[in-house]
Amino acid sequence: MGGMKKPADVDMLKGTLDMLILRTLVMGPAHGHTIAHVIEHTSENVLDVEQGSLYPALHRLEDRGWVSSYWGASENNRKAKFYQLTAAGRKQLVAEAGRWRQIVEAIGRVMGESLD
Amino acid sequence: MSLGKFFSRRKRDTEFAREIETHIAHEIDENIARGVSPEEARRQAYLKFGSARRVREEEWEFNTLRVFDDLWRDFRYSARTLWRTPAFALVAVIVMALGIGANTALFTVVRSVLLTPLPFKDPDRLIQLYEKSADNRHLYNYVAGGMYAAWKKQSPGIEQMGAYGLRTVNLSDSGGELPERAQWADGSWDLFTTLGVAPEIGRFFTASEDSPQGAPTVILTHSLWERRYGGDRNIAGKTIQLNSHPYTVIGVLPASFVYPDPHVQLWTALYHEEDPHQVQRVDVHNYFVVARLRPGVTLAQALSEVDTATKRVHMNHPTPFTSSSANARTLLDGVVHDAKTQLYILLAATTCVLLIACLNVANLLVARSASRRKEISIRASLGGSRIRLLREQVTESLVLALAAGAAGLPLAWMGTQWLIHSRPDLARVDAIHFDGTVLLFGLGMVALSGMLAGLVPGASFLRGPLLESLQETSRTNSSGSSSARLRKILLAVEVAFTVVLLTTAGLLLKSYQKLRSLDLGCETRNVLTMQFSLPDVQYDTSARKSAFFSVLLDRLHTMPGVKAAGLATSLPGQGYGGDASFSIPEHPAGTQTGLNAMIRAVDPGYFQAIGIPLLSGRAFEDRERLQAGLSTVIVNQSLARLYFPNENPLGKHIRTNIVGDANFEIVGVVGDTLWNLTEPKGPTMYFSILSGEWWWSSIAVRSDQDVSGLALPVQKLIAQLDPNLPISDVLTMEQSIGKSTLDANFTSMLVLAFAVIALLLAAVGLYGVLSYLATQRTSEIGIRIALGAQRSSVVRLLLFDGLTPAWIGLVLGLVGSGFTVQLIRNMLYGAQPLDWTIFTAVAALLLLVAATACAIPAWRASRLDPVQALRME
């Protein structure tokens, strides 16, 4: 039977998470745990990645061909699944980052005006 | 959602589980590095990750196609249910596999033979034209050359017309291959353009080659070209010998050209081959005519034009043998003619078997769903949807049908191969092949039978209160009455179909038996036959031909193991063999119109050798050779009765044009023989073959023991006499009769086989229903017996219950047969469609089988121990 339906606002977050993951992978291949940590640390623990949703997002990105994966040895010698940015993923990241900036600027303008 | 993901979701899930494991391991490492105790590190790591199972399940769901998932679940559920009752599953699968296999095989044949268009250009515009004999005995008669010429001029609705005739020829060449006798056709130059074929190599005849003055030319069929000439692409222009005459090969036909049948090996030009006088005559019927309709013209329009032309010819030449009307059918019908009825009968029979098989499986499923009534009712009352229950039922029968298809389709393929091998004479047998369409048809049959077998029992889920059965206990004697009624109806229908099949098979079999027991009018046991034909180059005079026949006879008579030997241009059962019109000089001239008799040429010892009784007068004598052999004739009894009623034919004369117009004195009367098993006997004249006027003959050799051992010695003997003379059709008389009754034999045997399968299925069905009813009523019967009922009355009670569907089905089936047999009346020889003996025998057989099938469970029930039966609750 169908799974529990998530609230609608998660969809926007999902898109954001995708972008964050792609951005993280620009620095090189990484496995899920590293990705989560990098996002948390660079955001200075503001963005707390829900680890359960990280993996479905990674798998989704892989299905779309934006990342590719391989099994390799991690820094402490565990077998881990590494994710790597593909050419298409890089393009997608540029597009999403552009759109993100537009939205942020637009929201900023709106918020700035209303605060006046 | 991709199917790939759906089918790989198990693999993806395992990988995901490992990924999660690694993640948590990393988290624990990190926590430990921060100085937390391992215990606490593990706890925190799991806490932080959340429910791994939930994430996995979500992803699993995400990768799942609902419909597929449900189907797959139903499928596994059905497969498991069926696996628990292997006997039931096996019976159902075998039954359906037989039905699907037989039906698909027949469909393959019907499609290839009857439905695939002929491999010609615009085949739907091609028709075949015939003469219709005045007495309507030959609806599709050969066409006379003069008639064909008249049609060509007087039928504006026909774009083009061509004609051909069939004959056999001795084929030899300088290539070192053995000489052989080949089937040969001579076609008019416009035949191939009418059909719209192009040669594979070379060209077809020109109009000037298709004339008596033209150069001798020949066109090879693809199969002969490959077989005898190794597919030589430079064959055009080479010379081969036909009947010892040189012919130039001008072309090769494409492989797709298998017309009019696969036996024809070569084509020569019609007007070059035929006697120029004969081919102009309007009353000598020798040819087949093919025509191409102009676009927009119907067959009926063309036929009326040709018919008018025929009537005009008849008015100008009012001889008794000039036809006064014409006939036409599509070229495809002309090619397949007899095969059509046969194949449709067989297709109908296999469809019947498939239907019966489905009904039987439906019946078995009803029984099972009845025994699961309580489970179903509980599920329904707990909110299970009825559609879902129905779906489960249909899935179950579909699983059965799929398994049956998996077994049945290879069976169909084997059946088709078997049919091709056992019936090489079938029209267009070369076109039969198994392909994607056939496979699709087979799958369609699988789906249909699965639906049919599942929907019938499943339909009861859709109506009626399901809850009621919860309240039923086995002590209420009405238990499961509605499903029992359904089963009885199914059974009655099944029995009805079986009866139709049985009567049809019975009639066909009876007709075949009649055919086989026919008296040919001569000895048929231990008789070996073969044919040859003397080429007119080496045997150019009557003396040479006569001498060959004489020497051959002498050698045959002295051969060890040979009891008697004779020569005849055509043996009994070997076909029409030609005819001639005649007059009787002793009778007044005005009374004689349309006197006509078949012609045979035989040697002096022939009648005695083959056992044709000499009724009066004498046989030919050895001195009646060459010119001396051209003054006497022997007639058969039919001729004597028909043309010399109330007078002695001996000493009378027959005037006929065999070798110039001449009188022949009747010196003997012999018994009648059949020229074809299914045709009435007719007047026949025998002449002396030693006159040397005939150049072909059949040999009949009789022996005391099995005669097939003589085949080789006789062939060797002929090779000693003339090493270049090919021999053909080496068969025992019984084989040659068997060949001519192959059709009847084949169809009746197959229909009989299907009928037996149907009967078995019906018996299984009856047995099943009654066993089920008896089990249902165990406690009721227990009470009856405990209260003092006679065991015999219990048997009677149950038998009555079980036999009701049988006799209802029987009556329905007999009525149905009454209609069905009308459809096959054309195939029956010497048997009436409404043959009461067959109908009675079928009814008796069916009741006997039904009674036996019912007696076992009834007898078992009557031996119930009442105490046991009542305790079973």
ipTM of the complex as predicted: 0.80
SS3 B784: helix
Nearest residue, CB atoms, A52 vs list B22, B55, B61: B55
Chain A residue with CA closest to B29: the answer is: A76
- Cα–chain center distance at B710: 33
Q: How many angstroms separate the CA atoms of B14 and B691, rounded?
A: 96
In a domain, A3, yes or no: no
Structure token pair of residue B859 = 């007898």
Q: Which residues of B touch A (CB under 8 A)?
A: 5, 12, 15-16, 18-20, 22-23, 25-27, 29-30, 48-52, 54-55, 57-59, 61-62
In a domain, B825, yes or no: yes
Contact: A3, B5; criterion CB under 8 Å: no
Contact: A78, B61; criterion CB under 8 Å: no
pLDDT of A114: 52
SS3 A6: coil
Question: ∠ CA(A66), CA(B65), CA(B59), 5° rounding?
Answer: 50
**What's the gap in Å between the CA of B70 and the closest CA on chain A?**
10
Task: Tell whether A77 lies on the interface with B, counting CB pairs under 8 A.
Answer: no
Residues B597 and B474 in one domain: no
Residues B345 and B254 in one domain: no
Contact: A76, B57; criterion CB under 8 Å: no
Quick one: which H or E segment has residue B267? strand B264-269
Residues with Cβ within 8 Å of residue B406, at least 6 apart in sequence: none
In a domain, B82, yes or no: no
Q: What is the pLDDT of residues B234-281, one digit of tens each?
A: 988 888 888 778 899 999 999 888 888 777 888 999 998 888 888 888
Residues B507 and B643 in one domain: no
Residues B362 and B462 in one domain: yes
| Chain A residues inside the 8 Å CB shell of B59 | 55-56, 59
**Among B298, B322, B346, where does a domain finish?**
B322
Chain B residue with CA closest to A30: the answer is: B23
In a domain, A39, yes or no: yes
Residues B296 and B375 in one domain: no
Nearest residue, CB atoms, A31 vs list B22, B49, B62: B22
Instruction: CATH number of the domain at A61, please.
Output: 1.10.10.10
In a domain, B499, yes or no: yes
Q: Nearest to residue B662, comparing CAs of B697, B637, B618, B627?
A: B627
**What's the gap in Å between the CA of A99 and the closest CA on chain B?**
27
In a domain, A2, yes or no: no
Nearest residue, CB atoms, A78 vs list B12, B25, B58: B25
| Chain A residues inside the 8 Å CB shell of B62 | 3, 56
Pairing of the two strands B579-583 and B527-533? unpaired
Structure token pair of residue B256 = 């797709």
Contact: A33, B52; criterion CB under 8 Å: no
Backbone angles phi, psi at B182, to 5 degrees: -125, 150
| Chain B residues inside the 8 Å CB shell of A36 | 23
pLDDT of B478: 45
Quick one: which H or E segment has residue B465? none
CA–CA distance from B112 to each of B116, B261, B342, B416, B431 (Å)?
Answer: 5, 15, 14, 11, 6
**What's the gap in Å between the CA of B360 and the closest CA on chain A?**
37
Q: What is the pLDDT of residues A6-28, one digit of tens each?
A: 333 444 455 688 888 999 999 88
Nearest residue, CB atoms, B27 vs list A33, A50, A56: A33
In a domain, B84, yes or no: no
Q: Nearest to residue B110, comparing CAs of B444, B436, B345, B408?
A: B345
Residues B356 and B459 in one domain: yes
- Asked whether the beta carbons of B777 and B800 are under 8 A apart, the reply is no
Half-sphere exposure of A85 (CA within 13 A, CB side): 19
| Chain A residues inside the 8 Å CB shell of B45 | none
Residues B60 and B184 in one domain: no
Higher-pLDDT residue of B368 and A108 is A108
H-assigned helices in B634-694: 637-643
Pairing of the two strands B632-636 and B661-670? parallel
| Chain A residues inside the 8 Å CB shell of B64 | none
Contact: B49, A56; criterion CB under 8 Å: no
pLDDT of B292: 94
Report the domain count for chain B: 4
**What's the gap in Å between the CA of A40 and the closest CA on chain B?**
13
Q: Nearest to residue B271, comparing CAs of B324, B225, B215, B341?
A: B215
Q: What per-residue string of b and e applies to B378-415 under the rule 16 or more CB within 10 Å gives b?
A: ebbeeeeeeeebbbbbbbbbbbbbbbbbebbbebbbeb
Q: What is the pLDDT of residues B551-595, one digit of tens each?
A: 999 999 999 889 999 999 988 888 777 778 888 888 887 777 778
Q: How many angstroms separate the CA atoms of B776 and B487, rounded?
A: 14
Of the residues A38, A48, A49, A59, the best mutation for testing chain B's interface (the one with the most B CB atoms within 10 Å of its CB) is A59
Q: Nearest to residue B409, comparing CAs of B170, B104, B199?
A: B104
pLDDT of B399: 87
SS3 B209: coil
Residues with Cβ within 8 Å of residue B516, at least 6 apart in sequence: B737, B741, B745
Q: How many angstroms separate the CA atoms of B300 and B158, rounded?
A: 12
| Chain A residues inside the 8 Å CB shell of B51 | 52
Q: How many angstroms separate the CA atoms of B504 and B842, rounded?
A: 10
**What's the gap in Å between the CA of A7 and the closest CA on chain B?**
15
**Among B292, B322, B352, where does a domain finish?**
B322
Report the domain count for chain A: 1
- Asked whether the beta carbons of B420 and B434 are under 8 A apart, the reply is no
Q: Nearest to residue B503, comparing CAs of B281, B820, B798, B205?
A: B820
- The answer to whether the pTM exceeds 0.90 is no
Chain A residue with CA closest to B21: the answer is: A80
Q: Which residues pair with B288 in a beta bridge?
A: B164
Amino acid in the structure at residue B829: Y
Contact: B19, A32; criterion CB under 8 Å: yes
Residues B553 and B693 in one domain: yes
Contact: B16, A2; criterion CB under 8 Å: no
Range of the domain at A67: 10-115
- Asked whether the beta carbons of B248 and B279 are under 8 A apart, the reply is no
SS3 A69: strand
In a domain, B221, yes or no: yes
Residues B782 and B710 in one domain: no
In a domain, A4, yes or no: no
Contact: A81, B5; criterion CB under 8 Å: no
Of the residues B11, B20, B22, B31, the best mutation for testing chain A's interface (the one with the most A CB atoms within 10 Å of its CB) is B22
Task: Tell whether A59 lies on the interface with B, counting CB pairs under 8 A.
Answer: yes
Rg of chain A on CA atoms, in Å: 16
**What's the gap in Å between the CA of A59 and the closest CA on chain B?**
9
Of the residues B9, B23, B55, B65, the best mutation for testing chain A's interface (the one with the most A CB atoms within 10 Å of its CB) is B23
Task: Tell whether A79 lies on the interface with B, counting CB pairs under 8 A.
Answer: yes
| Chain A residues inside the 8 Å CB shell of B29 | 76
Task: Tell whether A48 lies on the interface with B, counting CB pairs under 8 A.
Answer: no
Interface A–B counts its CB contacts (< 8 A) at 59
Torsion angle (degrees, nearest 10) of CA B246, B251, B257, B262: 20
H-assigned helices in B787-835: 791-823
Residues B505 and B560 in one domain: no
**Among B42, B64, B86, where does a domain finish?**
B64
Residue with tokens 């139709």: B500
**What's the gap in Å between the CA of B50 and the closest CA on chain A?**
6
Residues B359 and B469 in one domain: yes
**What's the gap in Å between the CA of B47 and the closest CA on chain A?**
10
Q: How many angstroms separate the CA atoms of B116 and B114, rounded?
A: 6
Please return the burial class of B86, using the count of CB atoms within 10 Å of its CB with bins 0-12, 13-18 and 19+: exposed
| Mean pLDDT score across all residues of chain A | 79
Q: Nearest to residue B568, comparing CAs of B509, B502, B520, B519?
A: B520
Range of the domain at B32: 3-64
Task: Tell whether A23 lies on the interface with B, counting CB pairs under 8 A.
Answer: no
Pairing of the two strands B180-187 and B245-252? unpaired
Please return the burial class of B30, using the count of CB atoms within 10 Å of its CB with bins 0-12, 13-18 and 19+: middle
Contact: B22, A33; criterion CB under 8 Å: yes
- Asked whether the beta carbons of B183 and B166 are under 8 A apart, the reply is yes
Omega before B465 cis (within 30°)? no
Q: How many angstroms separate the CA atoms of B101 and B404, rounded?
A: 9
- Asked whether the beta carbons of B373 and B468 are under 8 A apart, the reply is no
Identify the segments of chain B with pLDDT beneath 50. 1, 474-479
| Chain B residues inside the 8 Å CB shell of A80 | 19, 22, 26
Please return the burial class of B489, using the count of CB atoms within 10 Å of its CB with bins 0-12, 13-18 and 19+: middle
Quick one: which H or E segment has residue B713? helix B711-721
Q: Nearest to residue B597, comparing CAs of B321, B249, B809?
A: B321
Residues B663 and B603 in one domain: yes
Nearest residue, CB atoms, A55 vs list B16, B26, B48: B16
Task: Tell whether A70 lies on the interface with B, counting CB pairs under 8 A.
Answer: no
In a domain, A5, yes or no: no
Q: Nearest to residue B262, comparing CAs of B328, B337, B182?
A: B182
**What's the gap in Å between the CA of A29 and the closest CA on chain B?**
15
